[in-house]
Amino acid sequence: MTPVYVPCWVRNPNFVAIGGWGRSVDRIGVLSKPAVPVAWKGRRPDVIYAWTGRSWYQIDLDEWESPVDVLRGKLYELTCMSNRNNLVWTDQDMNVLAQHAALWGYRWMGQIVPAR
């Protein structure tokens, strides 16, 4: 029998709550560095949610702001929060999150690398 990997976030109600946020989320992926799950709705979102290891951190965007630029500007802050909360995100976590994205009806965006 093959062992099954079940990440701790699957049992965390704060994390899985994102699955019910269909009014404000339709896609989910993981930043490359820091390895932090992020979720948003549409091509020009008003808000991006980033998992800090304890809760979803809301990043508000102005209508003129690019999501990539906003994420790039928050990398240090997200790194500090994820380190403080001992967030470790692995390739196995990515695979399980991709499955959850499908279950929730969200588009899986994979690894997100904010270009420099």
In a domain, 113, yes or no: no
In a domain, 112, yes or no: no
**pLDDT at position 116, please?**
62
Q: 18 is in which domain, residue-wise?
A: 8-105
Res. 115: pLDDT tops 90:
no
Based on the number of CB atoms within 10 Å of its own CB, is 11 exposed (0-12), middle (13-18) or buried (19 or more)?
exposed
The 10s digit of each residue's pLDDT in 25-53 is 999 999 999 999 999 999 999 999 999 99
The 10s digit of each residue's pLDDT in 53-91 is 999 999 999 989 989 899 999 999 999 999 999 999 999
In a domain, 38, yes or no: yes
Give the chain's domain count: 1
Give the containing element (helix H, strand E) for 82.
helix 67-84
Q: What is the pTM of this model?
A: 0.93
As a whole number of angstroms, the distance between CA 7 and CA 48 comes to: 23
